[in-house]
Amino acid sequence: MELVRSLNFETSACRGGAVTIGNFDGVHRGHARIIKELVTLAREVDGPAVVFTFDPHPVRLLRPDKVPPPLTWTDRKADLLAELGVDSMVVYPTDAALLALEPGAFFAQIVREKLDARAMVEGPNFFFGRRRAGDIGLLSEFCRDAEIRLQVVTPLQEAGEYVSSSRVRSLIAAGDVAAANTLLTRPYRIRGMVTHGAGRGAKIGFPTANVDAIDTLLPAEGVYACRAVLPAAAWPAAVNIGPNPTFGEAGLKVEVHLIGYQGSLYGQPLEVDFLRRLRDIRPFDSVDQLTAQLACDVEAARQVTASPPEDGCT
């Protein structure tokens, strides 16, 4: 996968192939359907499969108060798309100049001049250009005139609802990470930096890594079965999101207990895959009761991480 963060490229890995344009937040199974068609068309036109996306999301510039919390960061998105067969991802540094382009200018400058596209793949609800004035009908006209093949992909439905980033976001915000994972191509993941905490976990036999600076959507408060991802390996983990009411603390924390791990993680980046929500946050009458519950949580998390992925994850 070639990741390009500007339009100043001449590489053949980004030009002369099949292109799809979109945000692809979360890289869910609906996105995977589009990418499957993209890869097929790219092979037919003997060129690369190219995803053109944006960072930041255009909404951040146009309506900053309406920006949804992201599900993925750029490098994670690139990794997930590469697994699906994408050859290159162009990440446009969104600016006022791009947002001011009328649909015709966007098509001429981006699709034809910069990407030299021979084919395109989009969903029926695709919009482009200033104020989203271009729709799939206009794109079809432009592609026909430019002799560019266009494949419109039918949206994927699951349980009578469309698979979308907003649907995934709602499930995660509600804590139903297991259901969200059935819509994603990989389990939902967050990242952050390990910082110093109060150290109480280590004193009662359950040391935790306190994770801060998380830049994607955080699941609802609760205790979760997770998988902690380190550079060298992945570890089963039990994760607490929320306050510590037993100790009278009301502030929200993300505390990750890596099951069986020995060593310090302070100052290191940590990524965490969420697999299943285990229970609500609640206060306990004593530290002994809390410790007993934590032992149950750890065992439950161990069993979940030992199971095969949920249907829908690849």
pTM given for the model? 0.92
- Are 226 and 187 in contact, with CB atoms under 8 Å apart? no
Q: What is the pLDDT of residue 314?
A: 41
Considering the chain, tell me which residue range(s) the CATH 3.40.50.620 domain(s) occupy: 2-158
CA pair distance 106, 104, nearest whole angstrom: 5
> In the predicted model, is pLDDT for residue 104 greater than 70?
yes
pLDDT band at 311 (very low <50, low <70, confident <90, very high): very low
> In the predicted model, is pLDDT for residue 61 greater than 70?
no
pLDDT band at 309 (very low <50, low <70, confident <90, very high): low
Considering the chain, tell me which residue range(s) the CATH 2.40.30.30 domain(s) occupy: 186-306
Q: Select from 1.20.970.10, 2.40.30.30, 3.60.10.10, 3.40.50.10860 the CATH code of 186-306.
A: 2.40.30.30
What architecture does CATH give domain 2-158? 3-Layer(aba) Sandwich (3.40)
Q: Taking residues 269-298, what's their average pLDDT?
A: 95
Q: What is the pLDDT of residue 197?
A: 75
Q: Taking residues 219-241, what's their average pLDDT?
A: 95
Q: What is the pLDDT of residue 231?
A: 86
Q: What is the pLDDT of residue 198?
A: 67
- The torsion of the CA quartet 56, 231, 221, 170, rounded to 10 degrees, works out to 40
Helices (H), the chain: 29-44, 58-62, 74-83, 96-99, 103-106, 136-146, 165-173, 177-183, 200-203, 287-306
Tokens 């992925």 — which residue? Answer: 309
Q: Taking residues 180-195, what's their average pLDDT?
A: 97
Query: Mean pLDDT lowest for which of 71-85, 117-131, 142-156, 235-249?
Result: 235-249
> In the predicted model, is pLDDT for residue 99 greater than 80?
yes
> In the predicted model, is pLDDT for residue 189 greater than 70?
yes
